[in-house]
Amino acid sequence: MLRVGAHASIAGGVHNAVDEQTEYAGNCGQIFSHSPQVWQDPNIDPDNAAQFRDASAEHGVGPWVIHSSYLVNLCTPKDDLRRKSIDSMQAEVDAADLLDIEYVNVHLGAHTGAGVDGGLDNAASALDELDVPDGVTVLIESDAGSGTKLGGQFEHLATVRERTSLDVEFCLDTAHAFAAGYDVSTPEGVAETVAEFDDVVGLDDLACIHLNDSKHECGTNKDEHAHVGEGLIGEDGMRALINHEELRDVPLVLETPTEDGKGFEWNVERVRELRDDE
């Protein structure tokens, strides 16, 4: 069954995200538990949490993903930022437990001078400090790889998994992978990229795909998303991703823009149009 949805707002209460998702005709999705631009703990009312759980079950919406704050940097060598990042992630996995959300998604962050190996070590040891509730899994997201940010190479993801004691899984962002140099604009490129991901990381641990097209060329490390099939990955690449036999059961979460009169509802429908059996 095709699982596709989009990032939804929790404005007015986290339960409202379910109604928004159904308006997009989505059946899975992603939320922020608070503003991603500030250091802030989730402020989720228990009654709203119960409404979220009940509505998700009633409408068959799931899995859900909580996306961590943009400020979190697991790779940092700076003690204060490291502590804030760990505390923020702990609050996120606890919020996921309250909401019966399966996944918390996080970028590795930037090593800012610690070096690639040092940054990956920092990320692994930061993950080791989390007390993750049963039923919640931390997902490490692939990155566009600009500056000293890590996660652009599949080897970075595999290395962190090897070095941490936490059972982690992964989220592959198609626009990020494209920006990092994995050319998924053709069926052949998709096949090669998926095979490489399987060889280096393992498809068994791929829990979610952020399905985004890209406004920038492959390998530019520029992260700017486009509507499905209308960016430089294009329709051929998107169709190949959506229909790849090894990816067909992986939930697709859209982080596409709202512009040109098109939003999440348009993009969810576009995914369904590109799916062979829909």
The pLDDT of residue 43 is: 84
**Which residue is it, tokens 């795909």?**
209
The pLDDT of residue 179 is: 98
Type of residue at 55 = A
Kindly tell me the burial class for residue 235, based on how many C-beta atoms sit within 10 Å of its own C-beta (0-12, 13-18, 19 or more): middle
pLDDT tens, 252-265?
Answer: 999 999 999 999 99
Alpha helices, H only, the chain: 16-23, 46-59, 79-99, 116-128, 154-163, 174-179, 187-200, 234-243, 264-274
The pLDDT of residue 20 is: 98
CA proximity to 151, closest of 110, 182, 200? 110
Burial annotation 196-207 (CB, 10 A radius, 16+ → b, else e): ebeeebebebbb
**So where are the chain's domains?**
4-274
CB 158 within 8 A of CB 150: no
User: What fold, for 4-274?
Assistant: TIM Barrel (3.20.20)
pLDDT tens, 169-210?
Answer: 999 999 999 999 999 999 999 999 999 999 999 999 999 999
pLDDT tens, 56-93?
Answer: 999 999 999 999 999 999 999 999 999 999 999 999 99
Q: Tell me the C-alpha distance between 88 and 171, whole Å.
A: 19
Q: List residues bridging with 30 in a β-sheet.
A: 7, 65
Phi, psi of 84, deg, nearest 5: -65, -40
